[in-house]
Amino acid sequence: MPFHRWTHAEKHLVSRQSGLEETLNSATHAVGVVFGLAATAMLLRFTMAQGDFWFSLGVAVFGFTVVVLYAASTLYHWARNPARKRLLQVIDHVAIYLLIAGTYTPFALGPLREGWGWGMLALIWGLALGGMALEAKRAVRNRAVSIALYLGMGWIAVLSFPTLLELLPIQAVTWLLVGGTAYTLGTVFFLWTRLPFHHTVWHIFVLIGTVCHFCAILHLLAPGELPPNLVPGISIAGR
């Protein structure tokens, strides 16, 4: 069984989370579930109106992975039963790979589809499936190594940065970079286990990253499809 026992590092990490901290950890990502459902519904309303099946599918996949990630995290941090918590921890870690691949999907099936989008999609989902298999088998015991894998997958797109600048609106690229930076900065707090409420701070950075990536997708929509300033600070018509 892959969920047979805690590793020493996991015992140490969990032991440092007080009941209040775990409650806040759960609450912050419960907000992510609600946001993910609402934002996905809004995006799908407009992408489906455009009649682009593949882009709509990509947005749906992204929204699904967002909700799965935040739901898994919420349940994991809420759980108190040790056996249930072990299982939910694995699901939580697996869902991170799912979200990373899901974030690439609307871009690959949208503006990048006619170019190298399909190849990127195959690569990132292949890496995600490999990562999920490792997590399910608990093959990666060091969380710092897992974080490095997550970040490596998340930033692999910068290898084709000139192409992104050519094919995507500059606002979409900017929001992508800001979101990736938020996720990356958040890992500092994830690993800073001596800091009280460090994991809650990490969760807030994750939320910021997700919101930024929803904003990036908004900028992929054709001008006129959305009312100006639908989201504060974003003017679709002026892109």
Conformational region of residue 51, where left means phi above 0, alpha means psi within -120 to 50, and beta covers everything else: left
Would you tell me the crossing angle of helices 198-218 and 53-78 to the nearest 10 degrees?
170
Residue 4's Cβ-side half-sphere holds a number of Cα atoms within 13 Å equal to 4
**Domain-located, residue 55:** yes
User: For the chain, what's the residue count?
Assistant: 239
Q: Which residues contact 144 (CB under 8 A, 6 or more apart)?
A: 191
State the chain's mean pLDDT as an integer.
Answer: 86
Contact assessment for residue 239 and residue 223, using Cβ atoms and an 8 Å cutoff:
yes
Write the burial class of residue 220 (CB in 10 Å: 0-12 exposed, 13-18 middle, 19+ buried). Answer: buried
Q: What is the pLDDT of residue 232?
A: 47
Q: Is residue 5 part of a domain?
A: no
Asked whether residue 19 is assigned to any structural domain, the reply reads yes
Residue 203 in domain: yes
d(CA 130, CA 127): 5
With a CB cutoff of 8 Å and minimum separation 6, the contacts of 11 are none
Residue range 25-52, pLDDT digits in tens: 999 999 999 999 999 999 999 899 888 9
For residue 10, pLDDT beyond 60: no
Q: Residue 59 domain-assigned?
A: yes
What is the share, in percent, of the chain residues with pLDDT greater than 70?
Answer: 85
Q: Is residue 1 part of a domain?
A: no
Can you tell me the mean pLDDT for 80-95? Answer: 92
d(CA 68, CA 9): 25
- The burial of 222, by beta-carbon neighbours within 10 Å (0-12 exposed, 13-18 middle, 19 or more buried), is given as exposed
Q: What backbone torsions phi and psi does residue 192 show, to the nearest 5 degrees?
A: -85, 70
Asked if residue 75 belongs to a domain, the reply is: yes
Q: Is the pLDDT of residue 148 over 60?
A: yes
CA distance 7 to 26: 22
Over residues 5-24, the mean pLDDT reads: 63
Q: What is the mean pLDDT of residues 20-25?
A: 92
Domains contained in the chain, number: 1
Please give the share of the chain, as a percent, with pLDDT higher than 90: 65
Identify which of 203, 209, 211 has the alpha carbon closest to the alpha carbon of residue 231.
211
Q: What is the pTM of this model?
A: 0.85
Cα distance between residue 221 and residue 100, in whole Å: 21
3 within some domain: no
Quote the domain boundaries for residue 126.
15-238
The stretch 168-194 carries a mean pLDDT of: 94
> What pLDDT does 88 receive?
93
Confidence of residue 136 (pLDDT cuts 50, 70, 90): confident
